[in-house]
Amino acid sequence: MSLCHETGAICQAYTLNRRVTASVCVYRDPERDQVLILPPCGICQERLAMWGPEVQVAVPDAGSATGWCVRTLRDVNPYYWGSQFTDDGMWPSQKSHSE
């Protein structure tokens, strides 16, 4: 696995005790001369999950004028594994992710 570009920003937010509310991964594809919006990979979804299911992420959307739209992590990953370890089936808290 390589290290995604947004990892640095996510780690910096954590070290500064800042809340991550949104994430966009932009990739320039030189072979097709396009700019692509990439949804977060599974590892980045896991990193972002520490801030909860309402974190907004950019996903490709060919039907929109911009070519992308916003979804929450809950929309992107409705069966998050961490909810299996909570008493109420909800996403674990930030504190739980840090333990």
Query: pLDDT digits over 25-59, tens only?
Result: 998 899 989 889 999 988 999 999 999 999 999 99
Place of tokens 């959307």: 61
Instruction: Report pLDDT for 74.
Output: 93
Which residues does residue 57 pair with via DSSP β-bridges, in sequence order? 23, 71
Res. 2: pLDDT tops 80:
no
Q: Which of 10-24, 54-68, 79-93 has the lowest mean pLDDT?
A: 79-93
- The pLDDT of 4-28, averaged and rounded, is 91
Contacts 24+ apart (CB under 8 A), 90-95: 91/49, 91/52, 91/53, 92/49, 93/52, 94/50, 94/51, 94/52
| Residue that wins the pLDDT comparison between 84 and 72 | 72
Q: Report whether 52 contacts 91 (CB < 8 A).
A: yes
Contacts of 33 (CB under 8 A, 6+ apart): none
User: Rounded to whole angstroms, how far apart are CA atoms 99 and 84?
Assistant: 16
Res. 84: pLDDT tops 80: yes
